[in-house]
């Protein structure tokens, strides 16, 4: 989530007038820049550059080819180009497609200014590859946990936005063309609250208009995760759906998710993290978020948003300090505490998923599948789809735009043919009726002239009903 707090305007009228005229000359990208550059710069002793971090991850994968693999994706839309790196962990890469394993999808760096999240991604990958360890956690227990998992990590979802931050705009959270990637998903897309700020929450021109969200959606469709975690900073919180409304989902599974988050909060947040729905806890509703899509449309059984750090004392203009630790002690504490929280969550969630799987083996598949719109179906479920529980589905290896176009043309042609068919039936019926009437009486202007003794009841049955339902 990670939206900046608003700046209070409880100032003397004279100062407000000065600020108004000053702001008129400093309106940038849909916001009033009254503050200038962030007073706290990026601490390069703690934080990698985006290129440096990705090089560290590539080197890590190269050193552990038995456990880690790396894929690169790219996409473009109307001249805008984006790239994304995805690292896959499986303790034995030969078992990567083992259906008995649970699949986890982790996204970091969705907002450019939240640098600490990508550092956490590197730390988790280092722990998975055993180059780093966690204090007070038995390595044997880690082995048992990781044996059951396949984990895909997106270390930096918003590479273009991160580059803008590194170029000096430390408050930038959007992608390279000004769209908030966590408002560009289809669930409740485009709705604007009273405090809507286009600089903070621009949802784009349409759901999935951005290459980054398109790539993430395709990754979800092909990987079919059991667990999704979207990692942000700006506060300390453990959120579950929903972001766009002040409720959590109904049912036992949702209740268990909340209990698990409460336990994580107690063990690893020392009860200081907010727990519950994003919309009910963060202080504002967010529409078009990734987590709501993952839960409602992709039907990921366990979908979360983790907020791993926030400095509540930082001013609204000091974005780097607000969203990222600025000293070594806090930096290491955040990475160590949240790495441990992720490992504990992996362990707890596998037990929850075991129960969920056992409870659903005797239920209908419809309880596990989902109802989606035509566009969502065509955009997702016909793309290399496999059931989460092993049932293979047919695949249409055709471009999504072509499928959508052909499907709509098919619907249109079907409707037109149906209308033509109905029209021919109607004309045929009228022809038969008029033929019968012509045999009984002369007609003028479509009205039959009968003698006084002739009534509608005397006409053939088909003609009587024709007259009645035609309004005569």
Residue 416 and residue 278 share a domain = no
Nearest to 105 by CA among 222, 244, 234: 222
Provide the number of structural domains found in the chain: 2
Is 386 domain-assigned? no
255 CB-side CA count, 13 A: 3
pLDDT for 2: 66
Given the DSSP bridges, would you call strands 443-444 and 447-448 parallel, antiparallel or unpaired?
antiparallel
**What average pLDDT does this structure show over 225-250?**
95
Residue 333 and residue 428 share a domain = no
Residue 259 and residue 376 share a domain = yes
pLDDT for 53: 98
Spacing of C-alpha 388 from chain mean position: 18
pLDDT for 402: 54
Q: Tell me which of 354, 381, 408 is where a domain ends.
A: 381
* Alpha helix segments (H runs only) across 65-146: 115-128, 139-146
Return the ∠ at Cα 123 (arms to 340 and 211), rounded to 5°: 115
* Dihedral sign of CA atoms 243, 264, 102, 87 in order: positive
Q: How sure is the predictor about 143, in pLDDT bands with cuts at 50, 70 and 90?
A: confident
**What average pLDDT does this structure show over 285-302?**
96
Residue 260 and residue 175 share a domain = yes
Cα separation, 192 vs 312, in Å, equals 25
Which tokens in the block code for residue 423? 């029209």
Residue 173 and residue 140 share a domain = yes
**What average pLDDT does this structure show over 437-455?**
45
Host domain of residue 440: 400-470
Is 391 domain-assigned? no
pLDDT for 314: 94
pLDDT for 123: 97
Residue 150 and residue 71 share a domain = yes
User: Are 385 and 310 spatial neighbours (Cβ–Cβ below 8 Å)?
Assistant: no
| Predicted structure pTM score | 0.72
Residue 218 has pLDDT above 80, yes or no: yes
The predicted-structure confidence for 400-437, as pLDDT tens digits, reads as follows 555 656 676 788 888 888 888 887 776 665 555 555 54
**What average pLDDT does this structure show over 101-107?**
96
User: Are 171 and 318 spatial neighbours (Cβ–Cβ below 8 Å)?
Assistant: no
Cα separation, 207 vs 214, in Å, equals 9
* Alpha helix segments (H runs only) across 298-327: 319-323
């Amino acid at each position: 989530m990670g939206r900046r707090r608003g700046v209070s305007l409880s100032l003397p009228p004279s100062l407000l007038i000065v600020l108004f005229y000053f702001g008129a000359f400093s309106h940038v990208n849909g916001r009033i820049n009254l503050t200038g550059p962030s007073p706290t710069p990026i601490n390069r002793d703690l934080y990698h550059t985006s290129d440096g971090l990705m090089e560290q991850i590539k080197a890590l994968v190269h050193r552990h080819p038995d456990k880690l693999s790396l894929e690169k994706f790219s996409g473009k839309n109307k001249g805008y180009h984006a790239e994304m790196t995805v690292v896959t962990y499986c303790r034995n890469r030969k078992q990567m497609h083992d259906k008995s394993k649970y699949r986890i999808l982790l996204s970091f760096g969705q907002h450019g200014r939240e640098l600490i999240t990508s550092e956490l991604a590197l730390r988790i990958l280092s722990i998975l590859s055993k180059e780093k360890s966690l204090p007070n956690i038995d390595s044997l227990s880690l082995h048992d946990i990781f044996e059951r998992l396949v984990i895909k990590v997106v270390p930096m979802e918003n590479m273009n936005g991160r580059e803008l931050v590194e170029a000096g705009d430390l408050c930038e959270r959007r992608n390279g063309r000004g769209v908030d990637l966590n408002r560009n998903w289809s669930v409740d897309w485009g709705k604007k609250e009273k405090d809507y700020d286009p600089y903070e929450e621009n949802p784009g021109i349409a759901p999935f208009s951005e290459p980054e969200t398109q790539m993430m959606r395709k990754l979800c469709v092909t990987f079919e995760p059991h667990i999704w975690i979207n990692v942000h900073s700006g506060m300390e919180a453990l959120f579950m759906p929903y972001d766009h409304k002040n409720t959590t989902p109904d049912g036992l599974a949702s209740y268990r998710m909340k209990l698990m988050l409460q336990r994580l909060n107690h063990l690893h947040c020392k009860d200081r993290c907010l727990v519950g729905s994003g919309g009910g806890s963060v202080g504002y509703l967010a529409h078009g978020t990734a987590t709501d899509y993952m839960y409602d449309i992709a039907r990921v059984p366990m979908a979360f948003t983790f907020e791993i750090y926030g400095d509540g004392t930082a001013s609204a203009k000091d974005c780097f300090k607000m969203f990222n630790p600025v000293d070594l002690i806090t930096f290491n504490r955040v990475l160590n505490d949240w790495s441990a929280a992720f490992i504990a969550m992996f362990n707890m969630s596998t037990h929850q998923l075991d129960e969920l799987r056992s409870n659903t083996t005797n239920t209908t598949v419809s309880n596990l599948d989902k109802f989606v719109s035509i566009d969502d179906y065509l955009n997702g479920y016909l793309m290399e789809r496999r059931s989460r529980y092993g049932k293979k589905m047919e695949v249409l290896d055709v471009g999504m735009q072509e499928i959508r176009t052909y499907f709509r043309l098919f619907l249109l042609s079907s409707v037109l043919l149906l209308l033509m068919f109905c029209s021919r039936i109607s004309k045929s019926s009228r022809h038969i009726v008029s033929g019968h009437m012509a045999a009984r009486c002369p007609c003028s202007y479509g009205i039959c002239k009968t003698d006084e003794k002739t009534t509608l009841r005397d006409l053939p049955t088909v003609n009587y009903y024709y007259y009645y339902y035609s309004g005569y």
